Chain A
Amino acid sequence: AQSVTQPDIHITVSEGASLELRCNYSYGATPYLFWYVQSPGQGLQLLLKYFSGDTLVQGIKGFEAEFKRSQSSFNLRKPSVHWSDAAEYFCAVGNQAGTALIFGKGTTLSVSS
């Protein structure tokens, strides 16, 4: 079955510390992978995406993610977290066709000072 797993429900990171949010997927076809961020009361904003080429992708707000096919993973990283990064982060998988994206359950990021 196609699915996305985000093992960490809630993570707290000190401001300035590094961050890694985990994402594992199960998908029959060649996956297109996405990370979206949702601030409280807001919609979903795309942080970055992978669909081909370099397996390390750069996104907005200083985020990056690395696609590892052998591990079926697409972990999100940021070297230095800012208080404004506190939000809900969703990993999603899809393909080039019009099929719907499948989302993980999300990871809530809290940033402590």
Chain B
Amino acid sequence: EPEVTQTPSHQVTQMGQEVILRCVPISNHLYFYWYRQILGQKVEFLVSFYNNEISEKSEIFDDQFSVERPDGSNFTLKIRSTKLEDSAMYFCASREGTSGHTGELFFGEGSRLTVL
């Protein structure tokens, strides 16, 4: 069964460093998302991406964040200068774009980011 894959599963970084989290969405999906979950809290939307551009973003997704689809398969989230409060589990998700689909997001297993 096709799945969303994320790397790395866990990354530890120093405050102020740049981090890139990588995702390979399901191959025929057209919409891509990043969510994050701070430990013990709810899953929060960061950004959605469609047709090679950001289609929606939350107030969390400030200038420190960027997303890119550098090739036909990867979808990346970059944090330019990490802060302690960026420590969280980051989930990538994708969904179909065809008419009649049910709106379901398929999630990866997450990348845990720890900022020291």
Taking beta carbons and an 8 Å cutoff, which residues of A are in contact with B? 32, 34, 36, 42-46, 49, 51, 90, 94-96, 98-106
Q: Which of B69-97 contact A (CB under 8 A)?
A: 91, 93, 95, 97
Whole-angstrom distance between the Cβ of A86 and the nearest chain B Cβ: 16
Contact between chains at B107 and A44 (CB < 8 Å): yes
**Nearest B residue to A90, CB-CB:** B43
Residues of B bordering A, CB below 8 Å: 30-31, 33, 35, 41-45, 48, 50, 55-56, 58, 91, 93, 95, 97, 101-110
When the two chains form their complex, are residues A43 and B104 in contact, meaning their CB atoms are under 8 A apart? no
Say yes or no: B56 contacts A103, CB within 8 Å: no
The total of Cβ contacts below 8 Å across the A-B interface reads: 63
In the complex, how many angstroms separate the beta carbon of B91 from the nearest chain A beta carbon? 6
Q: Are A49 and B56 in contact (CB under 8 A)?
A: no
**Nearest CB to that of A97 among chain B residues?**
B103
Check if B43 sits within 8 Å of A99, measured CB to CB. no
Contact for B108 among A43, A90, A98, CB less than 8 A: A43
CA distance in complex: A15, B86 (Å): 37
Q: How far is the CA of A2 from the CA of B8 in the complex (A)?
A: 32
Pick from B48, B103, B110: contact of A96, CB below 8 A: B103
Partner of A105, one of B41, B95, B105: B41
Interface of A is mostly: loop
Decide: A43 and B91 in contact? CB cutoff 8 A. Answer: yes
Contact check, B105 vs A101: say whether CB atoms are below 8 A apart: yes
Q: Are A101 and B50 in contact (CB under 8 A)?
A: no
- Say yes or no: A51 contacts B102, CB within 8 Å: yes
How far apart are the CA atoms of A98 and B99 in the complex, in Å? 11
Q: Report Cα–Cα, A101/B45, bound state, in Å.
A: 8
Q: A35 to nearest B CB, angstroms?
A: 11
Residues of A within 8 A of B35 (CB): 100, 103
Contacts A100-B56, A103-B42, A104-B42 known; A32 to B102 CB distance under 8 Å?
Answer: yes
